[in-house]
Structure 1
């Protein structure tokens, strides 16, 4: 069963045929009135259908506590509607105006060291501040009342990138809210003291008022306190999201509500798998980070967004046409990358492609961030590429509303494990949870194997995957341990790695030897970790190289096979990779970090028992990424060139919606190119 296309979900579609939406953030308040009509004309030329408006407009909309100015926004909304462009209207609460922070400095966030974060940038507000919430919800109510029936309004955009700069607030407001959250979680102080292990270092609490956020301390803060504060901070912003959403649903029940997630490198504090049920459709912002896995990471993040959306279409709310302005060195995109990046998101389920921003700012902290209309104006390569992409998205309209077709491999991504595995006072501070997951993803891409990045969000069916990779699955509650055991016994093939299965949901070690909750399933036992220094490596007997970590593995079950052993280092001769047969499936353990190249060498031995092979021609494997979206009548195969050289693909297996054919009719992927084939549904 397919989902409702976003173009129909967003109010104001007026019965249009399903289409892929296109646009970006639009900030007309930065420009004189005479520019607005040119903007609408250029938007129509570029094929723009939807823009986000008023994201940072609070100071303009409410210049003083009892003064409102909606005239300019009325005019912008009317202009956009006349141009056939829908508005994803922001609630404008992302950055409070100067008059509010002057009158109420108690809304300003406080760091762990007790420093106040002052106005001058953005998001200078406490997620738990009742004063801030009162003023913000008043603004939301005014906007919803005024624009409830405006024909341009197609969706509500709550705040903007919630928690990007104000996630961890250690203020007194946060302390009170944290205590309330803990009471709800644990019920009694005895339960909290047990969960936090407060017998250690004389931390036992005898009164709720004694409990604080993990502020700057003399040594390592209590690890479960740290983990719970991460959970609380994500929940506090989720609760704020709900507060705005509930006002909007009260006043505009027929207008869908979303907010832009940040599934992009460097953002890890918000459990979006938990947030997804709070919005009417999932939206995401993503920016490419340079490096050898840059486009693999883009694909990984888009794939994870689809996993959080349970395979349903989602909205790419922001990405860039070229360079950003917040890295040490900001490099523009090369020819073809603007389109390839956009279409790779579409391949993984995006039914809308939007950029930050429409017109490049002339002033402010983001004036050197690229845009759809650059400083050079519409007579530019960037705007021509933007217009060409608009035409391509119109060509791909049949894709709109289709879901992601499940892949044979799943990569499990778990926020509790991400947060807990990278805390302090651990065997190594060098562990990078997201990087390990990305390495497995890159290795599967190199082999031409489709994989889904999925979470344990309710509704995720892990049993559909023939191979399930759970890298650094550090936090394993008893419930999850049983689920993974059933998965393997019922014919699934589980793969997990070092530092997995070690603690329960309270960050308490599973005793009896590592890997704790997964020890019997894997048929191994580890008495002591053996992490490696930053510059150390070990060699395995299959010619791969390990870094970061090794384990002193003892095989404890006759059904456990040693696939690879250490050839060098302190663990020489010991098992490095094992696999235990259980039921009609298996469970494998990888005890060192092999990196993408080493995993590419290892994976065929793990894929074999699961019967997984690539659908791609051998010459295209590693050079082309394949994804599939499926509707009731057709499936759409996306073929994305991962490199800078042309890739011949032979006779197309289906109707070519997008792509280039050679003189002989064979399909050719141009450098950084994308092809889309339409095939009959099975």
Structure 2
């Protein structure tokens, strides 16, 4: 498993819903898809009732015709299992399959993702429809692969049906074996929460303080949801592997409370993602300094690459986006759709499908525009797609199979992400510091990876990186600290932020000086710490002796105390009652070094560290370009492709000190080159 393609061509395509359109449109749609340069289509992920109009009665005529016609036009088909939208007959007859909210409200038919993963009846019916589809299409020459469900844990990622409470009870019993161990892990002696029967165990439920469960129980809840989701997906995957062994399996995701790395490792041939860069633009904090807008979507694509180095974009934004009552995103400007396409490719996509072929005329997504508008007449988005199709028909075969290359990685882990959803003393800081470090590296034109720390992570996974940034890992085991120490001892540079290392894997605080498990690595202790909010003024950090070298520290501050002679103070607090105290330290350890930054990162602070580490762009010797342009590199043993993506609407001047060829046009470039607004170069 975990291989994206057995072909040497780039698969470009589109999502298509033949059931939404008169059948007389299909042939013309397929013809124009091929003329656009498309080779692959996805369909059927929301079509359960069409396959099974009543329980146990199956029909395939509509999709037989749609798939056969697509195949006759030379298009390959990705078939979705339709389990994200159970039929009305199913939810009426078996209401136990419906999801239930934290407050006990049963979610009803009328949207999508209104089911729970734990219902034995729902699992049975999902297995049956999957088996019917796999038996019918498992040897169809036009079907090349399967998408399991659709966007697991999207819309809602918590589950409180009676089946879920029972499944959680069984999950914790298997994990802890005894109530004594569970009570210890959850710290139930606090507030007299001790359990003396397994029947007393539930998922978090409403309490006198709304949405305020035991934090250790809440962390296990997220772990359970992830395991349960993977268990649900496995049912379908096992059936497809049995009945359609020559067809690949994927699913589209990156949603909450799901260990997507484990999902991919256990079940998928490769991971798929739905790429909508304007989500980043419309969700930007108005207080954020110098936001990256749609460019910051590259950070999400970097996370996808950590799951599957070569992945599929199952849905690529191709028009203005929005449902009837939310997500009102503007239309991409001329060139932006092409820019976003190559943004996905630069980060590792080897297959890419636009969402969707034609904008729906009914339902919640009538404003989630596709390539074609309602009227089905030519438009500039279609023309832009045709240009991309022509380019990738030639260039795609060179790109497929190459992998993105970076010397710096930002570390994450699921325990801290899930614990940080509830714990405001570290959770929000991780997302801010991730974004600010990414922004700083982008300004210096230095690509980075995201690397998830997992039980499977080895020293060999860490060694390829010159620098690792682990912003706020509150939960850190001694085993993780030891692995990171091995990385440092052999020559690596490791950078921590405040709130590091003070919790164990249960989410309980160590009875050790902060930073707990990371104390020996850092050579410091935390003398005191404080939130910076309310009436407290933002604090500043002074770097070295320069009174003008100040950066902000305005969310949380660790006041540091040097414990080892190997530690050098790199910055001190410039204001507040702890002025003059260490704020930033560097500890020489073995052949490497460990930095501790006592605050939450802003880009300007990250830039100070980048400069002091003398980090440079990997193309600095032969290429110069402004900070508005993103750099990504994909390479294999023989070839290297440098992607330049201009996220500005204005032209950018690129200086080439060596002659290069643009893969997309075949043009030879040297000296000064003007990269148009939203323009793309792929140099080799």
Aligned to 1:282: 271
Question: CA RMSD, aligned part only?
Answer: 2.1
**In the TM superposition, what is the alpha-carbon distance from 1:297 to its structure 2 partner?**
2.3
Q: CA–CA distance in 1 between the matches of 2:404 and 2:425?
A: 39
For 2:346, the equivalent position in structure 1 comes to: 347
> What are the superposed Cα offsets for residues 518-566 of structure 1, whole Å, 9 maximum, x if unpaired?
1121111114321111684222222211221111211211211111111
Per-residue deviation, 1:375: 2.3
Q: 1:107 to 1:471 in 2, by over 3 A?
A: same
Distance change in 2, residues 1:253/1:358 (3 Å): same
| Secondary structure at the counterpart of residue 13 of structure 2 | strand
TM-score relative to the length of structure 1 = 0.92
Q: 2:312 aligns with which of 290, 310, 315?
A: 315
Distance 1:144 1:532, change over 3 A: same
Q: How does 1:480-519 map to 2 (within 5 A)?
A: 480-519=480-519
| C-alpha distance in 2 between matches for 1:168 and 1:365 | 23
Report what 1:273 is aligned to. 261
Segment drifting more, 518-527 vs 392-401: 392-401
User: Deviations along 1:260-307, whole A, 9 cap, x unmatched?
Assistant: 123xxxx43222122221201111112222132223421111111111
Quote the offset at 1:570 in angstroms.
Answer: 3.2
Q: For 2:480 and 2:368, how far apart are their aligned partners in 1?
A: 43
SS in 1 for 2:580: coil
Residues of 1 paired with 2:83 and 2:298: CA distance?
Answer: 31
Deviations 1:615-645 (A, max 9, x none): 2367425233222222343222212223233
Call closer, same or farther: CA 1:328–1:399 in 2, change over 3 Å: same
Rounded to whole Å, the distance in 2 between the matches of 1:323 and 1:552 is 47
Question: Which residue of structure 1 aligns with residue 205 of structure 2?
Answer: 215
Assess, with a 3 A threshold, how the Cα gap between structure 1 residues 281 and 502 changes in structure 2: closer, same or farther: same
- What SS is found at the alignment partner of 2:530? strand
d(CA) in 2 for partners of 1:663 and 1:164? 44
Q: Residues 667, 398 of structure 1: CA spacing in aligned structure 2 closer, same or farther, 3 A cutoff?
A: farther
Measure, in 2, the Cα distance between the counterparts of 1:420 and 1:181.
18
1:341-369 residue CA offsets vs partner (Å, 9 max, x unmatched): 11111111100111221211000001100
Aligned pair in 2 of structure 1 residues 663, 419: CA closer, same or farther (>3 Å)?
A: closer
What residue number does 1:147 align with? 137
Instruction: Say if 2:659 and 2:668, in contact at 8 Å, map to a contact too.
Output: no
Does the alignment pair 1:97 with 2:87?
yes
List aligned pairs for 1:572-611, cutoff 5 A. 572-605=579-612, 607-608=613-614
Distance 1:145 1:226, change over 3 A: same
- 1:597/1:329 Cα in 2 relative to 1: closer, same or farther (>3 Å)? farther
- More displaced stretch, 161-170 vs 455-464: 455-464
Q: 2:357, 2:189 → 1: CA distance?
A: 56
CA contact (8 A) 1:496 1:588 kept: yes
Q: Tell me the CA shift for residue 612 of structure 1.
A: 5.1
- Answering whether residue 184 of structure 2 is matched by residue 194 of structure 1, we say yes
Q: 2:193 aligns with which of 203, 228, 239?
A: 203
- Could you tell me the TM-score, scaled by structure 2's length? 0.92
**CA distance in 1 between partners of 2:436 and 2:368 (Å):** 29
Q: Secondary structure at the match of 1:658?
A: coil
- Structure 1 residue 615 corresponds to structure 2 residue 619: yes
Question: Which position in structure 1 is the counterpart of 2:645?
Answer: 640
| Map of 1:524 onto structure 2 | 524
Question: Map of 1:402-413 to 2, 5 A cutoff?
Answer: 402-413=401-412
- Tell me if structure 1 keeps the 8 A contact 2:499–2:558: no
Unaligned runs of at least 5 residues, structure 2: 285-290, 543-548
Structure 1: distance between partners of 2:440 and 2:352? 27
Query: Which residue does 1:12 correspond to in 2?
Result: none
- Residue aligned with 1:495, SS: strand
Structure 1, unaligned runs of 5 or more: 9-16
Distance 2:432 2:64 in 1: 46
Residue among 566, 570, 588 paired with 1:563 = 570
> For residues 30 and 500 of structure 1, what CA distance do their matches in structure 2 show?
52
The match for 2:444 is 447
* Contact 2:444/2:616 (8 A) holds in 1: no
- The total of aligned residue pairs comes to 657
Matches within 5 A, 1:168-183: 168-183=158-173
Q: Deviations over 1:446-504 (max 9, x none)?
A: 11112111112436611111110011112111210100111111110000111121211
**3-state DSSP class of the match of 1:576?**
strand
Q: Secondary structure at the match of 2:12?
A: strand
Does structure 1 conserve the Cα–Cα contact (< 8 Å) formed by 2:522 and 2:586? Answer: yes
